[in-house]
Amino acid sequence: MKKEYWFVIITYIAMQLSSIVGVPIFMLIGASTGMTADELEQKSAAYWIVFSFFVALALILFLMRKDMKEKMDTSNQASVGTSILWAIAGVFLALTAQAVAGIIEQSLGVQPESENTQQLIAIIYKVPMVIFVTSVIGPILEEIIFRKIIFGSLHKRFNFFISAVLSSVIFGLAHGELEHLLLYTAMGLTFAYLYAKTGRILVSMSAHIAMNTLVIIIQVVNREQIEKLLDTAQAFIGGLL
């Protein structure tokens, strides 16, 4: 693995853990605003998510600058038109993978609701700017980390199946919801397939962004209708980021 890839991974991990320090700092800054303790904590968490994700994205793009400038071997890449079609199809593949994984989880007694998703939705209602982070920046970072770096590095040594499963399980574990590991792993397998099939990280990235955006729209804009759906439909949109 390239040296800069390790720095990218360290940056991503630091971003994920940074709220331990960042949120209390933001709470101190906003202590004089007159908000209740709960509201102050929620808004501080929301603003720190926005701040930390933007900083992490800037640092990671800087660290990956040489990678982006290097001339890539296009012989294994799908054409632009084909890539666009796979990006569109990838959204439906990801949603289908979630649906199947969700049904399996429910059959095992796992509750369909994702705690991560519900927490994010609550934060979005407080600070709508978080929508851009969860819909766009999050997927960009995750595709760089879990598909381009981790899957890509593994795929140089192992076959697709082993590389995809290992990177997808790591992707699932990174979300911190062991009960939904199958759901996140299924998503990871889908995006790994898109990346391997087209040779373009932008394809899996676009599908991931579109899927997250769709989930946000359904969860936020149509929240009341969502609550009336059957449990299987809730499982269908259970995973986020």
The residue type of 219 is Q
pTM: 0.84
Q: Which of 175, 177, 180, 208 is catalytic?
A: 175
Please report, for residues 127, 150, 208, 239, the alpha-carbon distance to residue 99 in angstroms, rounded to integers and kept in the order given: 29, 25, 16, 10
| pLDDT at position 65 | 86
| pLDDT at position 232 | 43
DSSP SS3 for 217: helix
Looking at the chain, list the stretches that DSSP marks H as alpha helix, in order from N- to C-terminal side.
Answer: 3-17, 19-29, 37-63, 65-69, 80-107, 115-126, 130-132, 138-142, 152-155, 160-173, 181-198, 201-216, 223-227, 231-236
Place of tokens 């603003």: 47
Contact criterion met (CB below 8 Å) for 14 and 95:
no
| pLDDT at position 239 | 53
- Please give the Cα distance from 203 to 214 (Å, whole number): 17
Contact criterion met (CB below 8 Å) for 168 and 221:
no
| pLDDT at position 222 | 61
- Please give the Cα distance from 207 to 86 (Å, whole number): 8
| pLDDT at position 237 | 42
> How does 75-104 read in b/e, with b if 16+ C-beta sit within 10 Å?
eeebeeeebbebbeebbebbbebbbebbee
Q: Give the distance between the most distant pair of CA atoms in the chain.
A: 60
What are phi and psi for residue 211, nearest 5 degrees?
-65, -45
Place of tokens 């770096």: 149
- Please give the Cα distance from 23 to 46 (Å, whole number): 9
Question: Could you read off the pLDDT of 175-224 as tens digits, one per residue?
Answer: 888 888 999 999 999 999 999 999 999 999 999 999 988 888 777 666 55
Instruction: Retrieve residue 44's tokens.
Output: 């501080």
Is 41 an active-site residue? Answer: no
At a CB cut-off of 8 Å and minimum separation 6, what does 161 contact?
none
Contact criterion met (CB below 8 Å) for 154 and 163:
yes
Is 142 an active-site residue? Answer: yes
| pLDDT at position 149 | 95
Q: Which of 142, 177, 180, 208 is catalytic?
A: 142
- Nearest alpha-carbon partner for 241 in 174, 196, 182, 189: 174
Question: Could you read off the pLDDT of 72-88 as tens digits, one per residue?
Answer: 556 678 889 999 999 99
Instruction: Give me the tens of pLDDT residue by residue for the chain, a chain 241 residues long.
Output: 788 899 999 999 999 999 999 989 888 887 777 777 778 888 888 899 999 999 999 999 999 988 876 655 566 788 899 999 999 999 999 999 988 998 998 888 887 766 677 777 777 777 888 889 989 999 999 999 999 999 999 999 999 999 999 999 999 999 888 888 999 999 999 999 999 999 999 999 999 999 988 888 777 666 555 455 434 444 444 455 5
